[in-house]
C-alpha cells in the first residue's frame, strides 16, 4: 500500500517526538507499505519566526515571509530523515521544490497548481521513505511559496493525489473526529468513518481538527483521509466518500460554533436591490455572512437578520450604520452573545423528521431558537450563548450519539 | 562603488543586532554604493541544529545535514531584507540557489564551482540591496550544499569576484587584524593593511579572524578584503595585494599556535623510504603534519621530529607505534606541552637578519627553541608551552610592533 503520513507541529515538537514519529513510520514500512512523510515545522518555530518578522516590520513583504517561514519544515524534514536512516529505514528529505510542488504566485497563501510525481516516485522506487517539507512549494518564477494555514495538510493530500496513494494519514494530537466536543459532552464517541461532506460541515462549524481546504481537496481527488493521533496507537477516523460508509447514521455529530455574532436590522426600506446593496458592500469588505433570515414583521416592515464571525463584526458595523444614517434601515442591533449549534449527518438526506427532533429537543430544554438554517446534511440553530453546552448535550443524547 | 558586505553570526545574533546591520548597510547605500549583503545564521542556530542531528544519529547523511544547516542563513537573509525594506532601503533576499551559486557535490564542505552573476546583477540594477544567504549553494543535481567552516566568508568573496566588486567587507566581532593577540600583549596594534600572503600565514598560525580558504580565494580573485567589526565604527584591516602596500614592514605580526603536539622518533632505521612510509601512512589517516626535522644524532642514529595538531595525535599514535613494534623505530615520545610562535612579514624577503633577531630574542629570554621552520615571509619556532606568552611579548617588542 502507498501511504502518505503527515505529522503536525506538536507531533514533531522535539527530538523525542521525532523519535516517536520514527516508530510510526517504520511500523508502516515494516508492514510492507511505501511511505511518503510530510512534516510541519517543530511547534513554536513558525510563530517564533513570524514574531521576529513582525518586530522588524509592520508589513513584511510576503515573498520574504515565505523565504523565512519555509525554513522550519525543511529543518524537520532533514531531522526526521536523519533519524529514520539511523534506524536503518532508508530515507531522504525533500524540500517542496524538490518534491515537484508548483504553486501559483500568491505568497503566504499560495494554491498548489501541480505536482510532478517523478522525483517522489523515483525515490519510492529505490526503496526509500521520502520526507517532504510541508506547507511549501515554488511558483513558476522559482520562488519559494507557502500555502497558508493548514498548508502541510494540503501538501499531504495533494501528494497523495499525485501519487494515487491508497491512504493519507494526518497525525495530530487529537485521535480523531468525535460526535461532539468531548470537553462539553464527556460521552462523545470517536467516529470510525465520516463522509467528506459531513467533515466539511463539521469543520466549518467549529470542529478544528482539519482545515476545510484539505478536506475539499481530498474529496476532489477522492483520497481516503485518516485523522489520528501520533501520541497513541488508537485507530483514527477515516474520512472517505459516502459510498464507502456502510451504515449511514442519521446524525454523525453535533458541532458548536461560538465564534458568531448576530446583526439584526429592523425597518429595512422596501427599495428593490436593498439586500443586494447591503450584502454586496459587506462582501466587498471581506465580511463573511453565514446565515440570513428575512421576515415581514406584524408592522409590515421588513426585518433582516444575519450572522457574521465575531472578529469581522467591527468591519461590518460601519457599513450597516451607513445605511442607518441614510435612513434605509430604521434600526440596527448587534448581539455577540449567541452561538450556533448544528447537527450533521448524511443520513438526513433520506430520512424525515431529523430537523423536527432537533427543534423539539430545544423546546424541551426551553431554549429559544433565534435563527435556523438547513442544508441536505445539516441543521443549524442560532441560540443564546449561555445555553451552548446544554444544547450540545441535549442534542447528543437525543440522537443517541453516545451509544 | 560596488561593495559586498558579509555579516557573521554574532553580527546578526538577535533582532537588535540585525537592526545595527541595517544601519551599516543603509549608510553604505546612502554614500552611493551598490551593496550585496551576505549573512550567516544567527549565532547559536547552526550549533543547535548540529546538536539535534548528532542526538538523532552518530553519522547523519551529509546531504541531510546540508538541507538542515542551510536553513539558518535563509532565515537571517529574509529577516534582514524585511528590516531593510521597513527602513525604506529596497532589498530582496536570495538563497544560495537563487543567487546562482553552483558548487561541486561534496556535501557539508562543497567548493564553489561557478556563480551566475545575472540574478544578482539584475536585482542590483533595479536599485535593490541583495541579501544573500551565505554558506550555501546547489550542486549540479539541484541539491542544496553547504561550504563548511567559514563558508559565508567564501560566499562573500566569491560573489565579490563574480560581480567584480570593488570591496568585500567581512564584519565580525573583532575590529581587524592585530600585530598579535591583544589578550597576550596589550600593546598589540591594529594593522591598517596586510598582504594576502601575510594574512594566510597569520591565519594558519592561529589568528582566527578569517579562514584561509577565503583569503586564498580573495588572493586568487584579487578582491580587496576588509575585516572589521559590526559593533564599532572603527576602520578595519585591508587585506590586499602586496603592491598595494606602500611601506612593507619587516614583520607585520606575531602569531601563536597552542594547538600543536610534537612527536619525537629516536633510532629510526636506515632503510630507504622509511620516512615516506611513516608520513604516507599518517597522511592516509588524514593526520596533518606541520614541521618536520630530521637529524643524525651523535649515536649515528637518525632522529625524526614532527608536529601534528593536538586533536590528531590520537590518530597518529597507533600508526607510529606500529613502526615501533616492527622495530623500525627504537623509541617514540609525544609532547603536548609545546606551542609554535611565528613572526610574519613580507619585508623579510628583502631584508636579512630578521630570523637571527628572533633567535637572539629567544636566547635573551632563555627560551629553548626545539624546532625551527622558515618560509619566505615567516619564521616559526616550536618552544615549551609555558613560555608562550613571554615569547610573544618579547618578539612583539623586538620588532617594535607596538610603535
How would DSSP label each residue in A88-113? T--EEEE-TTTTTEEE-S-TTS--EE
Query: Any CB–CB contact under 8 A between B141 and chain A?
Result: no
> Within an 8 Å CB–CB cutoff, is residue A84 touching chain B?
no
User: What pLDDT does B138 receive?
Assistant: 97
A57 closest CB neighbour out of B56, B59, B86: B86
Letter string b/e over residues B93-116, b meaning 16 or more CB atoms within 10 A of that residue's CB: bbbbbbbbbbbeeebbbbbbeebe
Q: A19 — contact with chain B (CB < 8 Å)? A: yes
Report the side by side order of strands in the sheet with B167-172.
Answer: B91-94, B129-133, B34-39, B2-7, B167-172, B225-229, B237-240, B193-195
Q: Is B54 helix (H, G, I), strand (E, B) or coil?
A: helix
Q: Which of B378, B372, B376 is nearest to B359 (CA)?
A: B372
* Mutation site, B75, B99, B133, B143, interface A, largest A CB count within 10 A: B75
Q: Is B178 helix (H, G, I), strand (E, B) or coil?
A: strand
Quickly state the pLDDT bin for B207 (edges 50, 70, 90).
Answer: low
Q: Which three cell numbers stand for residue A137?
A: 512549494
User: What pLDDT shows up at residue B208?
Assistant: 67
Chain B residues with CB under 8 Å of A81 CB are 61, 64, 67
B221 in contact with chain A, both atoms CB, cutoff 8 A: no
Predicted pLDDT of residue B332: 95
Non-local CB neighbours of A368 within 8 Å, separated by 6+ positions: A362, A383, A384
Q: CA-to-CA distance for B106 and B21, rounded, in angstroms?
A: 32
B244 pLDDT band, cuts 50/70/90, is confident
What confidence score (pLDDT) does residue B352 get?
81
Which residues, including other chains, have CB under 8 Å from residue A21's CB and lie 6 or more apart?
A: A7, A11, A12, A37, A39, A80, A83, A171, A230
- List of chain B residues whose C-beta atoms are within 8 Å of the C-beta of residue A19: 56
Report residue B351's pLDDT band, with 50, 70 and 90 as the boundaries: confident
Residues of A in contact with B93 (CB under 8 A): 64, 67
Which residues, 6+ apart, have CB-to-CB distance to A61 below 8 Å?
Answer: B81, B82, B85
Enter the C-alpha cell of residue B292: 618536520
Q: Domains in chain B, please, with CATH? A: 2-173 (3.40.1160.10), 243-403 (3.30.2130.10)
Selected residue of B14, B41, B52 to mutate for chain A interface (largest A Cβ count, 10 A): B52
On chain A, the residues whose CB falls within 8 A of the CB of B130 are none
Scored b (16 or more CB within 10 A) or e, B359-370 reads eebbeeeebeeb
Nearest CA to B223 out of B157, B159, B163, B171 is that of: B157
pLDDT at B15 over 80: yes
Sheet with A112-115, edge to edge strand ranges: A112-115, A101-103, A136-138, A144-146
Nearest to B205 by CA among B383, B395, B385, B381: B381
DSSP label at residue A347: G
- Cβ of A298 under 8 Å from any chain B Cβ? no
User: What gap in Å lies between CA B277 and CA A81, rounded to an integer?
Assistant: 42
Is B143's pLDDT higher than 70?
A: yes
Tell me which chain B residue has its CA closest to the CA of residue A75. Answer: B68
- On whether any CB of chain B is under 8 Å from the CB of A332, the answer is no
Q: Are A189 and A401 in contact (CB under 8 A)?
A: yes
Question: How is residue B369 written as a grid cell?
Answer: 627553541
Q: How far is A343 from B73, CA to CA, in rounded Å? A: 50
Q: Are A63 and A143 in contact (CB under 8 A)?
A: yes
pLDDT the model gives residue B112: 96
A56 to chain B, any CB pair closer than 8 A? The answer is yes
Give A78's contacts in chain B (Cβ within 8 Å).
53, 64-65, 67-68
Q: Are B177 and B239 in contact (CB under 8 A)?
A: yes
Mutate to test the interface with A, among B41, B47, B58, B64 (most CBs of A within 10 A): B64
| Helix, strand, coil in percent for chain A, rounding step 5 | 40, 25, 35
In tens, the pLDDT along B41-83 reads 999 999 999 999 999 999 999 999 999 999 999 999 999 999 9
Q: Are B67 and A95 a contacting pair, CB within 8 Å?
A: yes
d(CA B154, CA B216): 10
The mean pLDDT value of chain B amounts to 93
How far from the centroid of its chain's Cα atoms is residue A184's Cα?
Answer: 20
Taking an 8 Å cut-off on Cβ atoms, the answer to whether B18 and A56 are in contact is yes
Q: Is A67 on the interface with B (CB under 8 A)?
A: yes
Chain B residues within an 8 Å CB radius of A77: 67
What pLDDT is attached to residue A245? 77
pTM tops 0.95 = no
Compute the radius of gyration of chain A from its Cα atoms: 24
Reduced 3-state DSSP string for A177-195: CECCCCCCCCCCCECCEEE
Of B68, B81, B144, the CB nearest to A64: B81
Check if the beta carbon of residue B79 is closer than 8 Å to that of residue B18.
yes
One digit per residue, the tens of pLDDT, for chain A of length 403 reads 999 999 999 999 999 999 999 999 999 999 999 999 999 999 999 999 999 999 999 999 999 999 999 999 999 999 999 999 999 999 999 999 999 999 999 999 999 999 999 999 999 999 999 999 999 999 999 999 999 988 999 999 999 999 999 999 999 988 899 999 999 999 999 999 999 999 998 876 665 678 888 999 999 999 999 999 999 999 999 999 988 877 767 899 999 999 999 999 999 988 888 889 999 999 998 899 989 988 887 777 789 999 999 999 999 999 999 999 999 999 999 999 999 999 999 888 888 889 999 999 999 999 999 999 988 899 999 999 999 999 999 999 999 998 8
Among A61, A98, A142, the residue with its CB nearest the CB of B82 is: A61
- How many angstroms separate the CA atoms of A165 and A36, rounded? 9
A236 φ, ψ to 5°?
A: -95, -155
> CA-CA-CA-CA torsion for A212, A216, A217, A223, nearest 10 degrees?
110
Tens of pLDDT along B84-132? 999 999 999 999 999 999 999 999 999 999 999 999 999 999 999 999 9
**Given a cut of 80, is residue B298 above it in pLDDT?**
no
| Block residue for cell numbers 547523511 | B61
Beta bridge partner(s), residue A136 = A146
Would you call B56 and A81 a contact, using CB atoms and an 8 Å cutoff?
no
Amino acid at each position: 500500500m502507498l501511504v502518505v503520513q503527515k505529522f503536525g507541529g506538536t507531533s514533531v515538537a522535539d527530538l523525542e517526538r521525532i523519535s516517536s514519529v520514527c516508530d510510526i513510520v517504520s511500523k508502516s514500512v515494516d508492514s510492507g507499505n511505501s511511505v511518503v512523510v510530510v512534516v510541519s515545522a517543530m511547534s513554536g518555530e513558525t510563530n517564533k519566526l513570524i514574531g521576529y518578522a513582525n518586530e522588524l516590520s509592520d508589513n513584511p513583504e510576503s515573498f520574504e515571509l515565505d523565504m523565512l517561514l519555509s525554513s522550519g519544515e525543511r529543518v524537520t524534514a532533514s531531522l526526521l530523515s536523519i533519524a529514520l536512516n539511523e534506524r536503518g529505514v532508508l530515507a531522504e528529505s525533500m524540500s517542496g521544490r524538490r518534491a515537484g510542488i508548483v504553486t501559483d504566485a500568491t505568497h503566504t497563501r499560495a494554491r498548489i497548481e501541480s505536482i510532478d510525481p517523478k522525483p517522489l516516485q523515483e525515490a519510492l522506487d529505490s526503496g526509500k521513505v521520502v520526507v517532504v517539507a510541508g506547507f511549501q512549494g515554488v511558483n513558476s518564477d522559482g520562488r519559494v511559496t507557502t500555502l497558508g494555514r493548514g498548508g502541510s495538510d494540503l501538501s499531504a493530500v495533494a501528494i497523495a493525489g499525485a501519487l494515487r496513494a491508497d491512504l493519507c494519514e494526518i497525525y495530530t494530537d487529537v485521535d480523531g473526529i468525535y460526535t461532539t466536543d468531548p470537553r462539553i459532552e464527556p460521552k462523545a464517541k470517536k467516529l470510525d468513518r465520516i463522509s467528506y461532506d459531513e467533515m466539511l460541515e463539521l469543520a466549518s462549524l467549529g470542529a478544528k481538527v482539519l482545515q476545510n481546504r484539505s478536506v475539499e481537496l481530498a474529496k476532489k481527488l477522492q483520497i481516503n483521509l485518516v485523522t489520528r493521533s501520533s501520541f497513541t496507537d488508537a485507530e483514527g477516523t477515516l474520512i472517505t466518500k459516502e459510498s464507502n460508509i456502510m451504515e449511514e447514521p442519521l446524525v454523525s455529530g453535533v458541532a458548536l460554533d461560538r465564534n458568531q455574532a448576530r446583526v439584526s436590522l429592523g425597518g429595512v426600506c422596501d427599495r428593490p436591490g436593498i439586500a443586494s446593496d447591503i450584502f454586496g458592500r459587506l462582501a466587498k469588505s471581506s465580511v463573511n455572512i453565514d446565515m440570513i433570515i428575512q421576515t415581514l414583521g406584524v408592522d409590515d416592515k421588513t426585518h433582516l437578520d444575519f450572522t457574521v464571525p465575531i472578529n469581522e463584526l467591527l468591519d461590518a458595523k460601519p457599513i450597516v450604520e451607513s445605511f442607518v444614517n441614510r435612513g434605509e434601515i430604521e434600526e440596527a442591533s448587534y448581539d455577540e452573545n449567541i452561538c450556533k449549534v448544528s447537527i450533521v449527518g448524511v443520513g438526513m438526506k433520506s430520512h424525515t423528521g431529523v430537523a423536527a427532533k432537533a427543534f423539539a429537543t430545544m423546546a424541551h430544554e426551553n431554549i429559544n431558537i433565534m435563527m435556523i438554517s438547513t442544508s441536505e446534511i445539516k441543521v443549524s440553530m442560532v441560540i443564546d450563548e449561555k445555553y451552548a453546552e446544554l444544547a450540545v448535550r441535549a442534542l447528543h443524547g437525543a440522537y443517541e450519539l453516545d451509544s
